[in-house]
Amino acid sequence: MTYGRARLCLGITGVGSLVSFSAIALALNLPGKWLESQPGLGLQGFLQLLAVTGAFIIWLTPFDFLGGYLLPQKFNKSTEAIDGWLRRYLTAVIQQGLLFVSFGSIIVFVGQKFGVLGGLIVVSLFMLACFLGRNRIMLNRKFKSEASSEKLLDAISMIQTWQIYVPRTVIVEHVDVGFTGGVIGFGKDAKIVIPRAWLAFGTEQLATAIARRAVAVSNGSYTRGLILAFLWNLAGFSLSALLTGANLASVAGLVTVLCGFTLWSFFGLLILPTVSRTASLRVDEELVERGMPFDLISRTASSMDRLQDNEPERPGAIETIFHPVPSVNGRKRNQPVKGFAAWNVARTTLFFSWACLGVLSRSVHCNVGRPELWLMLPTD
């Protein structure tokens, strides 16, 4: 079994277990039977919220160990010692757990006073806070080196020969070899983030990798991805409250909504990858139209893939459902790309779901057990 296929099986099992439990909990009304249903958040309700968060952490622990430590070691994707991974992992788990408890407490407090509408406003603000917080964290991890600056300038100069505007580009430090960076910020303040590992690429390939993100920003696909991810989560949280009939004024009501939201997030995992792949293929088309050789695009995608799952070819059904980034061989097309395109929307939606206490946000195959990829999931 390949590394990519092993991770996929692990992700399917982890996500499937969480979705199955959420469906059963809704069908049997377990939150209403087990948790505090009285409005407000007293000591008992707060302790129950802590317990629910703790149960989520414990549930994912074996999946995290397999996906974050054991599989990367087995397939030579990491040489990090167990104590180093464990230290990073526990730090990230505690931080996310505290964030979830804080978000949940505030949602219940506001929900008691202003109902579901108040909760939706709070969730919207939390998504904005997650977005801004991630931007700040990435900028604080900037890698500084005179040699890297020179190589980056050479790559940007090459991109400009293709008549592509390049936003400010930042190189960041990382431990996980599969960290890909992405794009942060919005509008004129958008910035491209690339991992230090990409400095090992040749200048042409580095330029191609950066140019792909520059095009996604300039053609509006990145912005569409942000907006759609925001609206997708907000719609899912709203529908979960509406269809379950639960309010947000109690811990039982909040957890009921979260179970419904888990099913909504799973639905997004099935359909949004196609939107993301379409955006990636549209970027390929635009680069070719600007004079970039397709062979260079393919070779760059191959270099990036070797740092991640090393799976250049996948069965069509598996790629359609599980992979928002096209495989290397899947980029070869004889016909124009059709369909709605929003760059990286599938995985941006998962990150934004932190604001909704989304339990699938770090249990998918690409980032389970890999704390650096919880904030910024892999993209192309």
Residue 150: exposure state from Cβ atoms within 10 A (0-12, 13-18, ≥19): exposed
Say what the pLDDT of residue 365 is: 97
Report the sign of the C-alpha dihedral through residues 120, 126, 360, 190, in that order.
positive
Which tokens belong to 12? 């399917």
Q: Are 99 and 354 in contact (CB under 8 A)?
A: yes
What is the tens place of the pLDDT at every residue in 78-126?
999 999 999 999 999 999 999 999 999 999 999 999 999 999 999 999 9
What is the tens place of the pLDDT at every residue in 344-356?
999 999 999 999 9
Q: Work out the mean pLDDT of the chain and round it to a whole number.
A: 96
Q: Report the amino acid identity of residue 80.
A: E
What is the tens place of the pLDDT at every residue in 317-326?
899 999 999 9
**Does pLDDT of 58 surpass 90?**
yes
Where is 169: in which H helix or E strand?
Answer: strand 169-172
Terminal CA-CA length for the chain: 24
Residue 248 DSSP SS3: coil
What is the tens place of the pLDDT at every residue in 188-243?
899 999 999 999 999 999 999 999 999 999 999 999 999 999 999 999 999 999 99
Q: How far apart are CA 56 and CA 309, in angstroms?
A: 26
**Does pLDDT of 56 surpass 90?**
yes
Say what the pLDDT of residue 107 is: 98
- DSSP for 248-281 reads SSSHHHHHHHHHHHHHHHHHHHHHHHHHHHHHHH
Q: How far apart are CA 376 and CA 380, in angstroms?
A: 12
Pick from 357, 350, 352: nearest CA to 254: 357
Q: Binning pLDDT at 50, 70 and 90, where does residue 335 land? A: confident
**Does pLDDT of 157 surpass 80?**
yes
**Does pLDDT of 147 surpass 80?**
no
Query: Which residues lie below 8 Å from residue 20, measured CB to CB, with a gap of 6+?
Result: none
Task: Report CA-CA distances (Å) from 352 to 10, 202, 212.
Answer: 22, 34, 23
Say what the pLDDT of residue 149 is: 84
**Does pLDDT of 2 surpass 80?**
yes
What is the tens place of the pLDDT at every residue in 247-302?
999 999 999 999 999 999 999 999 999 999 999 999 999 999 999 999 999 999 99
**Does pLDDT of 155 surpass 90?**
yes
**Does pLDDT of 146 surpass 80?**
no
HEC states along 7-30?
HHHHHHHHHHHHHHHHHHHHHHCH
Task: Report CA-CA distances (Å) from 295 to 113, 205, 207, 283, 304.
Answer: 59, 11, 14, 14, 14
Say what the pLDDT of residue 336 is: 86
Q: Binning pLDDT at 50, 70 and 90, where does residue 159 land? A: very high
Q: What is the largest distance, in Å, between two alpha-carbon atoms of the chain?
A: 64
**Does pLDDT of 145 surpass 80?**
no
Say what the pLDDT of residue 153 is: 94
Provide the β-strand partners of residue 193. 170, 182
> What average pLDDT does range 149-158 have in this prediction?
93
**Does pLDDT of 332 surpass 90?**
no
Say what the pLDDT of residue 266 is: 98
Percent of the chain surpassing pLDDT 70: 99
> What average pLDDT does range 331-347 have in this prediction?
91
